[in-house]
Amino acid sequence: MNDRTWPARLSPKAAKTFTELPPHTQQLVRDLLDIAARTPWGWPQWDATDPEGEDVRCASIGQLSLIYLVNSTAGRLYVIDLVWLG
């Protein structure tokens, strides 16, 4: 098992969306990022037909989805977009 936790950064768009969410949804985002940080490649690719896009992932729980890039060089996740259907 991997003991490494990948820190996450939010894009300006994702950060703006995050601040507009209700507190319980913000906590759900934190929980989802915690899971993704422990297993960044454990979620499906955003576009499985793109063989070079294996580092762009989509983590989803219920009505919440995070699209993030696994930046192996910097050792962090970069959240590109956050989608809340609530």
Instruction: Name the domain count of the chain.
Output: 1
Give the single-character DSSP code of 65: E
Residues 59, 36 contacting (CB under 8 angstroms): yes
Question: Does 69 fall in a domain?
Answer: yes
Residue 33 token pair: 């990022």
- Helical segments of the chain, H only: 12-20, 23-38
Query: Which one-letter amino acid corresponds to residue 40?
Result: P
CATH code, domain with 75: 3.30.2310.20
Nearest of 14, 8, 69 to residue 38 by alpha carbon: 8
pTM, rounded to two decimals: 0.85
Quick: pLDDT tens for 45-77: 888 888 888 899 999 999 999 999 999 888 899
Quick: pLDDT tens for 19-28: 999 999 999 9
Residue 29 token pair: 């985002």
